[in-house]
Amino acid sequence: MELAAGSFSEEQFWEACAELQQPALAGADWQLLVETSGISIYRLLDKKTGLYEYKVFGVLEDCSPTLLADIYMDSDYRKQWDQYVKELYEQECNGETVVYWEVKYPFPMSNRDYVYLRQRRDLDMEGRKIHVILARSTSMPQLGERSGVIRVKQYKQSLAIESDGKKGSKVFMYYFDNPGGQIPSWLINWAAKGGNCSGSLYH
Protein backbone atom coordinates (compact mmCIF):
# COMPACT_ATOMS: atom_id res chain seq x y z
CA MET A 1 0.00 0.00 0.00
CA GLU A 2 1.47 3.35 -1.01
CA LEU A 3 1.91 5.80 1.85
CA ALA A 4 1.50 9.53 1.54
CA ALA A 5 3.35 12.01 3.69
CA GLY A 6 2.27 11.79 7.31
CA SER A 7 1.82 7.99 7.10
CA PHE A 8 -1.65 8.18 5.56
CA SER A 9 -2.19 5.84 2.64
CA GLU A 10 -3.46 6.78 -0.80
CA GLU A 11 -6.30 4.34 -0.22
CA GLN A 12 -7.46 6.23 2.87
CA PHE A 13 -7.75 9.48 0.91
CA TRP A 14 -9.71 7.86 -1.92
CA GLU A 15 -11.99 5.99 0.50
CA ALA A 16 -13.06 9.33 1.97
CA CYS A 17 -13.74 10.61 -1.56
CA ALA A 18 -15.84 7.56 -2.34
CA GLU A 19 -18.11 8.14 0.66
CA LEU A 20 -19.14 11.48 -0.82
CA GLN A 21 -20.50 9.66 -3.86
CA GLN A 22 -21.90 6.58 -2.11
CA PRO A 23 -22.11 6.42 1.72
CA ALA A 24 -20.73 3.11 3.00
CA LEU A 25 -23.41 2.12 5.50
CA ALA A 26 -24.25 -1.39 4.31
CA GLY A 27 -22.91 -4.53 5.94
CA ALA A 28 -22.81 -3.02 9.44
CA ASP A 29 -25.33 -1.85 12.02
CA TRP A 30 -25.05 1.87 11.32
CA GLN A 31 -27.96 3.66 13.01
CA LEU A 32 -29.38 7.04 12.02
CA LEU A 33 -28.94 9.26 15.08
CA VAL A 34 -29.76 12.79 13.93
CA GLU A 35 -31.25 14.15 10.73
CA THR A 36 -31.82 17.90 10.53
CA SER A 37 -31.20 20.87 8.22
CA GLY A 38 -29.76 18.67 5.50
CA ILE A 39 -27.31 16.90 7.83
CA SER A 40 -27.50 13.19 8.73
CA ILE A 41 -25.43 11.63 11.53
CA TYR A 42 -25.04 7.87 11.83
CA ARG A 43 -23.36 5.89 14.59
CA LEU A 44 -21.98 2.36 14.87
CA LEU A 45 -21.51 0.64 18.22
CA ASP A 46 -18.33 -1.32 18.87
CA LYS A 47 -19.68 -4.03 21.15
CA LYS A 48 -16.22 -4.83 22.54
CA THR A 49 -15.52 -1.32 23.81
CA GLY A 50 -18.99 0.18 24.08
CA LEU A 51 -17.78 3.17 22.07
CA TYR A 52 -19.31 4.65 18.94
CA GLU A 53 -17.98 5.57 15.53
CA TYR A 54 -19.78 8.36 13.69
CA LYS A 55 -20.42 9.25 10.07
CA VAL A 56 -21.84 12.57 8.95
CA PHE A 57 -23.31 13.34 5.52
CA GLY A 58 -24.91 16.50 4.27
CA VAL A 59 -24.86 19.80 2.43
CA LEU A 60 -23.83 23.17 3.83
CA GLU A 61 -25.57 25.62 1.56
CA ASP A 62 -23.69 28.82 2.38
CA CYS A 63 -20.08 27.64 2.74
CA SER A 64 -17.68 27.01 -0.12
CA PRO A 65 -15.52 23.84 -0.08
CA THR A 66 -12.25 25.80 0.03
CA LEU A 67 -13.46 27.91 2.96
CA LEU A 68 -14.51 24.85 4.94
CA ALA A 69 -11.18 23.12 4.37
CA ASP A 70 -9.28 26.27 5.31
CA ILE A 71 -11.30 26.67 8.52
CA TYR A 72 -10.62 23.07 9.49
CA MET A 73 -6.85 23.52 9.11
CA ASP A 74 -6.68 26.93 10.84
CA SER A 75 -5.73 26.24 14.48
CA ASP A 76 -5.25 29.94 15.27
CA TYR A 77 -8.79 30.73 14.16
CA ARG A 78 -10.18 27.92 16.30
CA LYS A 79 -8.61 29.47 19.40
CA GLN A 80 -10.60 32.65 18.72
CA TRP A 81 -14.06 31.05 18.86
CA ASP A 82 -13.72 27.80 20.82
CA GLN A 83 -13.92 28.55 24.54
CA TYR A 84 -12.94 24.96 25.40
CA VAL A 85 -9.46 25.23 23.90
CA LYS A 86 -6.84 25.58 26.61
CA GLU A 87 -3.85 24.98 24.35
CA LEU A 88 -3.58 24.30 20.62
CA TYR A 89 -0.49 24.41 18.44
CA GLU A 90 1.51 22.60 15.77
CA GLN A 91 5.03 21.29 16.30
CA GLU A 92 7.58 19.61 14.07
CA CYS A 93 8.47 16.17 15.44
CA ASN A 94 10.71 13.72 13.59
CA GLY A 95 10.08 15.49 10.30
CA GLU A 96 6.29 15.51 10.67
CA THR A 97 3.88 18.25 11.69
CA VAL A 98 2.04 17.17 14.83
CA VAL A 99 -0.95 18.91 16.43
CA TYR A 100 -1.21 19.25 20.22
CA TRP A 101 -4.63 20.17 21.64
CA GLU A 102 -5.75 20.39 25.27
CA VAL A 103 -9.49 20.61 25.90
CA LYS A 104 -11.02 22.20 28.99
CA TYR A 105 -13.41 19.95 30.93
CA PRO A 106 -15.67 21.19 33.74
CA PHE A 107 -14.65 20.58 37.34
CA PRO A 108 -14.21 17.97 38.78
CA MET A 109 -13.36 16.24 35.47
CA SER A 110 -9.78 16.27 34.22
CA ASN A 111 -8.89 18.03 30.98
CA ARG A 112 -8.21 15.87 27.93
CA ASP A 113 -5.42 16.33 25.44
CA TYR A 114 -4.68 15.03 21.95
CA VAL A 115 -1.50 14.53 19.96
CA TYR A 116 -2.29 13.78 16.34
CA LEU A 117 -1.14 13.86 12.74
CA ARG A 118 -3.23 15.76 10.23
CA GLN A 119 -2.90 16.08 6.47
CA ARG A 120 -4.89 17.82 3.74
CA ARG A 121 -4.89 16.93 0.08
CA ASP A 122 -6.88 18.46 -2.78
CA LEU A 123 -7.76 15.68 -5.20
CA ASP A 124 -9.23 15.51 -8.70
CA MET A 125 -11.83 12.76 -9.06
CA GLU A 126 -13.09 12.62 -12.64
CA GLY A 127 -13.04 16.39 -12.88
CA ARG A 128 -14.46 16.98 -9.40
CA LYS A 129 -12.21 18.87 -6.97
CA ILE A 130 -12.39 17.23 -3.55
CA HIS A 131 -10.67 18.48 -0.40
CA VAL A 132 -9.73 15.59 1.88
CA ILE A 133 -8.35 15.93 5.40
CA LEU A 134 -7.24 12.96 7.50
CA ALA A 135 -6.26 12.94 11.16
CA ARG A 136 -5.27 10.27 13.66
CA SER A 137 -3.71 10.11 17.10
CA THR A 138 -0.02 9.44 17.43
CA SER A 139 2.65 9.24 20.14
CA MET A 140 5.67 11.53 20.25
CA PRO A 141 8.34 11.60 23.03
CA GLN A 142 8.55 15.38 22.58
CA LEU A 143 4.88 15.68 23.59
CA GLY A 144 4.58 13.40 26.58
CA GLU A 145 1.60 13.05 28.87
CA ARG A 146 1.02 15.81 31.41
CA SER A 147 0.12 15.45 35.07
CA GLY A 148 -3.59 15.94 35.70
CA VAL A 149 -4.51 15.73 32.01
CA ILE A 150 -5.93 12.57 30.41
CA ARG A 151 -4.36 11.73 27.05
CA VAL A 152 -6.80 10.61 24.34
CA LYS A 153 -4.87 7.82 22.65
CA GLN A 154 -7.48 6.65 20.15
CA TYR A 155 -8.72 9.34 17.80
CA LYS A 156 -9.25 9.30 14.06
CA GLN A 157 -11.16 11.47 11.66
CA SER A 158 -11.61 11.89 7.93
CA LEU A 159 -13.28 14.74 6.10
CA ALA A 160 -14.14 15.07 2.40
CA ILE A 161 -15.63 18.22 0.90
CA GLU A 162 -16.71 19.17 -2.62
CA SER A 163 -19.00 21.69 -4.26
CA ASP A 164 -22.73 21.03 -4.15
CA GLY A 165 -22.97 22.48 -7.65
CA LYS A 166 -24.17 25.82 -6.31
CA LYS A 167 -22.61 28.05 -3.65
CA GLY A 168 -22.38 25.43 -0.95
CA SER A 169 -20.54 22.24 -0.05
CA LYS A 170 -21.31 18.55 0.04
CA VAL A 171 -19.61 16.99 3.07
CA PHE A 172 -18.66 13.57 4.45
CA MET A 173 -17.06 13.13 7.88
CA TYR A 174 -15.97 10.05 9.84
CA TYR A 175 -15.14 10.40 13.55
CA PHE A 176 -13.96 8.12 16.33
CA ASP A 177 -12.81 9.24 19.76
CA ASN A 178 -11.94 7.26 22.87
CA PRO A 179 -12.66 8.21 25.75
CA GLY A 180 -16.03 8.78 24.12
CA GLY A 181 -19.11 6.84 25.05
CA GLN A 182 -21.25 9.89 24.36
CA ILE A 183 -21.61 11.73 21.10
CA PRO A 184 -19.21 14.71 20.94
CA SER A 185 -21.06 17.91 21.78
CA TRP A 186 -19.58 19.77 18.80
CA LEU A 187 -21.10 17.20 16.44
CA ILE A 188 -24.60 17.61 17.86
CA ASN A 189 -24.20 21.39 17.85
CA TRP A 190 -23.06 21.38 14.24
CA ALA A 191 -26.14 19.43 13.13
CA ALA A 192 -28.51 21.44 15.32
CA LYS A 193 -27.22 24.69 13.86
CA GLY A 194 -27.53 23.35 10.34
CA GLY A 195 -23.76 23.15 9.86
CA ASN A 196 -22.61 26.60 10.89
CA CYS A 197 -19.66 27.34 8.60
CA SER A 198 -17.46 28.95 11.25
CA GLY A 199 -18.70 26.75 14.06
CA SER A 200 -18.04 23.17 15.05
CA LEU A 201 -16.97 21.68 11.76
CA TYR A 202 -13.75 20.23 12.93
CA HIS A 203 -12.04 18.58 15.86
CATH number of the domain enclosing 150: 3.30.530.20
Give CA separation, 113 vs 109, 130, 136, 147, 178, in Å.
13, 30, 13, 11, 11
Q: How many structural domains compose the chain? A: 1
Q: Does residue 104 contact residue 114 with C-beta atoms inside 8 Å?
A: no
- What pLDDT is attached to residue 117? 94
pLDDT band at 202 (very low <50, low <70, confident <90, very high): very low
In a domain, 55, yes or no: yes
In a domain, 131, yes or no: yes
- What pLDDT is attached to residue 173? 93
Q: Please tell me whether the peptide bond between 106 and the residue prior to it is cis, using omega within 30 degrees of 0.
A: no
Residues 6+ apart with CB under 8 A from 76: none
- The domain of 111 spans 10-185
In a domain, 139, yes or no: yes
What are the pLDDT digits (tens) for 28-72?
Answer: 789 898 888 888 999 898 777 677 889 999 998 888 999 989 988
- What pLDDT is attached to residue 186? 57
pLDDT mean over 86-107: 89
In a domain, 5, yes or no: no
In a domain, 162, yes or no: yes
Query: What's the whole-model pTM score?
Result: 0.81
181, β-bridge pairs: none
In a domain, 190, yes or no: no
What are the pLDDT digits (tens) for 134-165?
Answer: 999 999 989 999 998 888 888 999 999 998 88
In a domain, 134, yes or no: yes
Q: Does residue 115 contact residue 143 with C-beta atoms inside 8 Å?
A: yes
Q: Please tell me whether the peptide bond between 108 and the residue prior to it is cis, using omega within 30 degrees of 0.
A: yes
In a domain, 176, yes or no: yes
Q: Is the pLDDT of residue 109 over 80?
A: no
